[in-house]
Amino acid sequence: MAKLKIGICGWGNVATGLYEQLTNGNELYSDWEISCIGARRDNPRCNPGSVKILRDIFDVVKEDVDILIELIGGVETARDLISEALNSGKHVVTANKAVIFEHGEELIKLARKNNVRLLFESAVCAGTPTIKMLSNDLSANKISKVAGMLNGTTNFILSNMQEGASYADVLKEAQDNGYAEPDPTLDVNGTDAAHKIGILSALAFNTGLPSPEFYIEGIEEIKSQDFIYAEDFNFTIKHLAVAKLSTGGIELRSHPVMLDINSSLAGLKGVRNGIQFDTDLLGAFHVAGSGAGRESTASGLISDLHALSKSNEVSPMNYPDFSNKPNILNFNDLTFKFYVYLEVKDEPGVLALISKTFADHNISFDKVIQKDQLQNGSVPLVIFTDPTIESEMQIALEGLADHPEVLNSKIIRIEDL
Ligand code: HSE
């Protein structure tokens, strides 16, 4: 049997990790051959041996390869490269969630038109099986909710902060370990997880990909102190991306949450990702595993290569019905229980002011705790609320911000899994 010829585009952390895996002598890969690598520059970390190097990544499309693996990252150039490859009759494998989120519909249509495949297992949770599992193995189930910690960098940062490390130090460690995106802003500001939940939402609810105007918030404002207050009430802090079927549409969001410390996802530490799928036949179903890094991503890419090498006739995954446009619910209309942190002046009447403002917006307190005075003389108040409409909470906080007695405020939404 002729060997399956592979062209790799990109020569960074993920691409060199894949190369090292494919050339480690494992006989699982003996039917595959890396024909060429599109690399704008050498990578001192990895010697590609005698493999042909092309300095223009688009030249890989012109080579005699069966599969092009897109690992250049970014959106528009990646879209052009994938399009050219599909139009040239090559299968494409990519780890690029941004390009799938923004142009997935168009690219999958192009793959269909050219009778080739576009696979992207490692775009979500890297090598932890998610995409093909959701599209194939869960296909008998009606899924009502997908809630996941989908960014390895963020979980690495938060779980180390929980143990007392500083945000800046752990972010640097995540970058050194190759977990973070080239621009780590996309990890910490919630965008990377948002791309991933957008893709999962389309697969879970059989719709087109959502437009990016849903609620996205990162972990930049989370402080070590928040973990201490959370733990007092048996919560921990995670970054969660959620897609949930609700009356009239889909709830879609990517933001920090407080989770019950005993919940399935709360115990996942470091670079691990985890997802809970709420289904009709299986009930709550969980996957968890490494969600970033060269080895984990290589695992997902190789699972796509296997799927392609086995199936010439049948598509290795079921794509959603793109004509079914998703109706994303307005975030301001959603209801949450909230953790509210307020720093206030230590003066009479402040608690009354806060109670009245919250009561005016139908916000009822579940618990209120006043903490010890801070060095600047102000007092932290920690409030856990009953279920509250998002817009009411926002208006109440804006109202409080107008009062000089209230120095600072922050909310974290509480998620019941
Ligand atoms: N930067 C991503 C993360 C890589 O930290 O999860 C995997 O998609």
pLDDT band at 182 (very low <50, low <70, confident <90, very high): confident
Neighbours of 313 (CB within 10 A): 4
Q: What is the pLDDT, as a whole number, of residue 344?
A: 96
| Residue 181 CB–ligand 1 contact under 6 Å | yes
CATH classification (class only), 131-290:
alpha beta
pLDDT band at 183 (very low <50, low <70, confident <90, very high): confident
Q: How far is the CA of 107 from the centre of ligand 1 (A)?
A: 22
Q: What is the pLDDT, as a whole number, of residue 373?
A: 86
The ligand 1 atom at the shortest distance from the C-alpha of residue 122 is 8
Tell me, yes or no, if 97 is annotated catalytic.
no
Mean pLDDT along residues 120-129: 98
Q: What is the pLDDT, as a whole number, of residue 311?
A: 67
Q: What is the pLDDT, as a whole number, of residue 376?
A: 86
Which residue CA neighbors atom 7 of ligand 1 most closely? 292
Is the Cβ–Cβ distance between 53 and 34 less than 8 Å? no
Residue 16 in this model has a pLDDT that exceeds 80: yes
Answer whether 0.85 is exceeded by the pTM: yes
Q: Do domains 131-290 and 331-414 have the same CATH topology?
A: no
Mean pLDDT along residues 269-283: 98
Mean pLDDT along residues 104-133: 97
The CA distance from 70 to 111, in Å, is: 14
Is the Cβ–Cβ distance between 241 and 196 less than 8 Å? yes
Q: How far is the CA of 193 from the centre of ligand 1 (A)?
A: 8
> pLDDT tens, 44-95?
999 999 999 999 999 999 999 999 999 999 999 999 999 999 999 999 999 9
| Residue 300 CB–ligand 1 contact under 6 Å | no
Each domain of the chain, given as residue ranges in start order, spans 4-119, 131-290, 331-414
pLDDT band at 358 (very low <50, low <70, confident <90, very high): very high
Is the Cβ–Cβ distance between 246 and 108 less than 8 Å? no
Q: Which two tokens stand for residue 292?
A: 């970033």
Which entry of 97, 196, 238, 244 is annotated as an active-site residue?
A: 196
Q: How far is the CA of 245 from the centre of ligand 1 (A)?
A: 26
> pLDDT tens, 314-349?
778 999 999 999 999 999 999 999 999 999 999 999
What average pLDDT does the structure give for the chain?
A: 96
| Residue 156 CB–ligand 1 contact under 6 Å | no
User: For 4-119, CATH number?
Assistant: 3.40.50.720
Q: How far is the CA of 219 from the centre of ligand 1 (A)?
A: 15
| Residue 291 CB–ligand 1 contact under 6 Å | yes
| Residue 126 CB–ligand 1 contact under 6 Å | yes
Residue 312 in this model has a pLDDT that exceeds 80: no
Is the Cβ–Cβ distance between 32 and 21 less than 8 Å? no
| Residue 192 CB–ligand 1 contact under 6 Å | yes
> pLDDT tens, 154-170?
999 999 999 999 999 99
The ligand 1 atom at the shortest distance from the C-alpha of residue 186 is 1
Judged on CB neighbours under 10 Å (0-12, 13-18, 19+), 410 is middle
Amino acid at 160: N
Write down the architecture of domain 331-414 according to CATH: 2-Layer Sandwich (3.30)
